Structure 1
Amino acid sequence: MHSPKENTSKRLKDVEISVPIVYGTIAFYLGRRASESQSHKWTVYVRGAKNEDLGPVIKRVIFQLHPSFNNPTRVVESPPFELSECGWGEFEFAISLFFQPDVCDKQLDLYHHLKLYPEDESGLQSTKKPVVIESYDEIVFPDPSESFFARVQTHPAVIVPQMPTSSSENINEKKKGDTKDHQLSQWFMNFSEADELLKLAEAQQQVQAHMHKLKRQLCLMDGLRQISRPSSTDE
């Protein structure tokens, strides 16, 4: 979870605004159209967790490609914050987020590894099913500006606390949302807070099970050492 420092004159104390985001890549194998230098077409992007418009929060995104690309520093000034290219190799992106002036004056740098080939290397690559790698994160803005809060308090991509002045009408307006249709949306992964908590719980259970296993192994080793140790007898 990232917390960029916000710097404005009029701020709401003890208030936090959270913006769930997803960043990742989708790579399609070109099949018969593939060449030695262009085997895949891929798209790298930053999106809302449910593909909402991030324009009210993010001003622009800079994608840093591999130096072998022409003009490897790509700037996207408006949503959707994405770009597509063709290539043959995997590499790591640097993704820099720049926020609206009343949101934050510091950029946020993310990193993502482009993956072209599926985990199962035994099967043939498919031109119909892409390789999708995505990461979920939440950007937290403490003590937000009044203008930022007012602009996003009903926006579906933003988690804001319910203030005493909020009306039920505004809350209902948020349900309408500003979700964008996208040609790749069928491949996007579904992220939610409940899913993330479930993953954390499963990871904790796995760690605990592994610790118990190690303890049993240590106890067994100690027992074997006790058995194999020669007993001392009085002469």
Structure 2
Amino acid sequence: MAAQDRVKGVIIHRPVIYGNSAVLLTPTERGAVAPEHTHRWTVAVRSAASPTEGRTDSVGGADDISYFIKRVSFKLHETYPNPNRNIDKPPFEVSETGWGEFEIQIRITFVPEANEKPVSFYHHLKLHPWNAPPPSEDPVPTPSSVPPVEAVHAWQYDEIVFSDPPRAFLDILLANPPTPLPKFKKRAVPPHVAHPASVVATTRGTPEFSVVMEREERERLDSARKDVVSETDKWREKLIEKEKELEMLKKELEKQT
């Protein structure tokens, strides 16, 4: 079997997270960057498991995912210099400062052995906690106006699925199993959740993904896939009906002419 021959019937996935962390800039930091900037943020694509030692403030990133990801491209807001950022080696992340929230397009390109098309995700950059009051019209914070927030985390869990992978790529995947997720979350996370697929924390701990969350997310993805299939079938039936109506109209037109 050639290295690029696909192994039929094999489905293998890799859990990843994508999203951002943000912290409020100090007055000194604001003076060093831009007066109107209020936050420093990092947007990233990482393995779902978090380090057990060392970077306890990190969300995900326990594994080096460059064995199956060649490049991650981040499309930032057009007001940033060079808004299209291509990251060709880990960590696959971009750090910047700013004052506003916006949507970031994330495009993942796989290694050549995968023989797969790139995939894209969309993430809304999150700077403020969900339960925070509206920002003041004056972008310059004062000591009394700065909320006691250590960091804001907004991360989404997803699974990149490879169906019938080429033999060479399957060997690479099997040689690099992902770090298992903990059965339950070990870190204290406040109950600030945007939606079931994401984790948003404001203080008192860093969010961590777990086996329970993975199962819940898998169920959510399965439900979404079923909805897509059902909706596709419905529109296919409507298309068939319209095609039949069009054929009948053509025949009626032929009879009249």
Contact 2:4–2:168 (Cα < 8 Å) also in 1: no
Structure 2 unaligned regions, length at least 5? 50-60, 134-144, 181-203, 221-257
Find the aligned partners of 1:61 and 1:42 in 2 and give their Cα distance. Answer: 17
Q: 1:50-199 maps to which residues of 2 (within 5 A)?
A: 50=49, 51=61, 52-122=63-133, 124-126=146-148, 129-157=150-178, 189-198=207-216
Once the 2 structures are TM-superposed, how far is the Cα of residue 106 of structure 1 from its aligned partner?
0.7
Distance 1:195 1:47 in 2: 16
Alignment of 1:16-55 (within 5 A): 16-33=11-28, 34=30, 36-50=35-49, 51=61, 52-55=63-66
Contact 1:62 1:75 in 2 (8 A): yes
SS of the counterpart of 2:112? coil
The one-letter amino acid of 2:162's match is: F
Could you say which residue in structure 2 is the equivalent of 1:229? none
CA gap 1:187/1:26 in 2 versus in 1, 3 angstroms: farther
CA–CA distance in structure 2, aligned partners of residues 85 and 195 of structure 1: 29
- Cα shift at 1:148: 1.0
Deviation at 1:201, TM superposition (A): 7.9
| TM-score computed with the length of structure 1 as normaliser | 0.65
Task: Determine the C-alpha separation between the residues in 2 that align with 1:158 and 1:28.
Answer: 28
User: Structure 1 residues 199 and 192, CA, compared in 2 at 3 Å: closer, same or farther?
Assistant: same
8 A Cα contact 1:20 1:158, kept in partner: no
Letter in 2 for 1:143: D
Number of equivalenced pairs: 168
Equivalents in 2 of 1:59, 1:187: separation in Å? Answer: 32
**In the aligned structure 1, how far is the partner of 2:151 from the partner of 2:176?**
31
CA positional deviation for 1:188: 5.4
Task: Label 1:113 to 1:187 Cα distance change in 2 as closer, same or farther (>3 A).
Answer: farther
CA distance in 2, matches of 1:110, 1:158: 23
Larger C-alpha radius of gyration, 1 or 2?
A: 1
Tell me the CA shift for residue 149 of structure 1: 1.3
Mapped contact 1:95–1:111 kept (Cα < 8 A): yes
TM norm structure 2: 0.59
How far apart are the structure 2 equivalents of 1:194 and 1:16?
Answer: 21
The change in CA–CA distance for 1:15 and 1:158 in structure 2 (over 3 A counts) is farther
* Cα displacement string for residues 168-191 of structure 1 (whole angstroms, at most 9, x for unaligned residues): xxxxxxxxxxxxxxxxxx975322
Residues 19, 158 of structure 1: 8 Å contact kept: no
Which residue in the other structure is 1:175 paired with?
none
The one-letter code sitting in structure 2 at the alignment partner of 1:25 is N
Structure 1 90/45 Cα, relative in aligned 2: closer, same or farther at 3 Å? same
- What does residue 13 of structure 1 align with? 8
In structure 1, list runs of 5 or more residues that go unmatched.
1-7, 160-185, 203-235
Superposition CA RMSD, Å: 2.6
The letter of the residue matching 1:66 is H
2:131 aligned counterpart, secondary structure: coil
Q: Percent identity?
A: 38
